[in-house]
Amino acid sequence: MELKEDQPQNGSGPAADVPPLRRIVVESETVPIRVGDYAGPPDPNYGREPWQVGAGSEGEPVWVEERMRTEDLSIAYGDKRAVKDVTIEVNSGEVLALIGPSGCGKTTLLRSLNRLVELTPAAKRTGRIILDDQSVDDFDVTQLRSRVGMLFQQPNPFPMSIFDNVAYGLRERGSKKPRKKILEPIVVDALERAGLWDEVSSNLSHPALALSGGQQQRLCIARSLAVSPEVLLLDEPCSALDPISTSIIEDTIVELKSEVAIVIVTHNLQQAARIADRVAFMYLGDMVEQGAAGQVFGAPREERTQDYVGGGFG
C-alpha cells in the first residue's frame, strides 16, 4: 500500500486554495471484518457492552447478554459428586440446551440455578452461581425463583381456573392482593406470549386441570412469564407430550428467547438441534463440551461428544 497526493494543475486561482487529495492505493481488494456470518453489529446497539453477536436458529444475527453463570460449580449427594467443577454462561437472546445420557448431572445442574437442589437434604454445593453479577445466595429464595422460573417434565397447573393460575405469582408477591382488573392485562399478555391466548380467551374461568397436556404446559409457561423472569429453566418440558403439542412448545420457546434467557434439559437430540443456539454436553458430571449448536452437532471437538451425538451411546 502507498500514499499519493494529487496536486492542483495551476499555481494560481481557486484551485490553488484546495488542499491536496490523499489517495490510498491498495494492492488487493479490501475484505470486511466479519463475526461468524455477520459483518458487524446493527444500530442502535453498536458498541454496547456486554452485548455480543451470536447466530440465530436461521442464521440471522442476534444480540445476547449474560444473565447467569456458574463458576467451578460442584454438587454432591453425600460422597457422590453429580456435577463436577462446571463453568457455563446463561445468556438472554438464546436457548442453551443441556444434553447427555441419564444420570450425567444435567438436571442437577439445572435445578441448582434457582436453588431447588437445596431441597434435597444430602445435597452439598461448592463454587458460585451468579445472577446479574450477584450470588444467588444473596437473594431471598422466593425472589430468586420468581426471577429464575422453572418448568418440569409433567405440567403442574394448580387446581384453580386458568386466570387464577397465571395470576397466582402476582397475587403472592405482596401482602395486599391486587384486584382482578389490575391483573387482567398482565394475565392476557402472559397467555399471548405463551401461545395459549387464542385457545382459552373465551373462558378464563375454565378449570386449568381440564386443559390438554400441551395446553397445561403452556399455561405453566404463562404462569412463569407473568412475574417477568429473567431466566426460564425447562426440565424436559415435552417428554410427556404428543408431537403436535411438542412442536407448539418448541415454537413458543424459540419466540420467547428474545425476552428471557432459556435453559432446557432434553434427551431429544433432534429437539436440541431444532431450538438451541448453544449446546452443552455432560457426561458423568463433567462438562465435556459446550459451544454453538451447529458446531457441537456438526463438528464436535471431543471424542465423547462425537460418540454421543453420533448414537454411539445414550
DSSP code, position 148: E
- The domain spanning residue 288 has which CATH number? 3.40.50.300
**Is 26 part of any domain?**
no
> Please, are residues 260 and 232 in contact by the beta-carbon 8 Å criterion?
yes
**Rounded Cα–Cα distance for residues 122 and 116 (Å):** 13
What are the grid coordinates assigned to 33, written together?
Answer: 471484518
**Is 251 part of any domain?**
yes
236: left (phi over 0), alpha (psi -120 to 50) or beta: left
The number of helices, as runs of H, and strands, as runs of E, in the chain is 10, 13
Three-state DSSP class for residue 299: coil
Name the residue among 298, 257, 287, 308 with its Cα closest to residue 57. 257
**Is 49 part of any domain?**
no
Name the residue among 117, 122, 121 with its Cα closest to residue 70. 117
The Cα angle at residue 128 between residues 125 and 129, in degrees rounded to 5: 100
**Is 130 part of any domain?**
yes
53: left (phi over 0), alpha (psi -120 to 50) or beta: beta
**Alpha-helical runs (H) found in the chain:** 106-112, 141-147, 162-172, 180-193, 197-200, 213-225, 243-256, 269-275, 293-298, 303-309
Name the residue among 303, 281, 309 with its Cα closest to residue 104. 281
**Rounded Cα–Cα distance for residues 113 and 144 (Å):** 9
Instruction: State the residue range of the domain holding 131.
Output: 54-309
> Please, are residues 286 and 280 in contact by the beta-carbon 8 Å criterion?
no
What pLDDT, on the 0 to 100 scale, is given for residue 241? 92
**Is 75 part of any domain?**
yes
**Over its length of 314 residues, how does the chain's per-residue pLDDT go in tens digits?**
444 545 444 544 444 454 454 444 444 343 333 333 333 333 333 333 444 444 444 555 556 789 999 999 999 999 999 999 999 999 999 999 999 999 999 999 999 999 999 999 899 999 999 999 999 999 999 999 999 999 999 999 999 999 999 999 888 876 577 788 899 999 999 999 999 999 999 999 999 999 999 999 999 999 999 999 999 999 999 998 999 999 999 999 999 998 899 999 999 999 999 999 999 999 999 999 999 999 999 999 999 999 999 987 76
**Is 13 part of any domain?**
no
**Is 134 part of any domain?**
yes
In the chain, how many domains are there?
Answer: 1
What pLDDT, on the 0 to 100 scale, is given for residue 280? 98
> Please, are residues 97 and 279 in contact by the beta-carbon 8 Å criterion?
yes
What pLDDT, on the 0 to 100 scale, is given for residue 60? 57
**Rounded Cα–Cα distance for residues 54 and 89 (Å):** 14
**Is 62 part of any domain?**
yes
What are the grid coordinates assigned to 43, written together?
Answer: 444500530
Per the omega criterion (within 30 degrees of 0), is the bond before 155 cis?
Answer: no
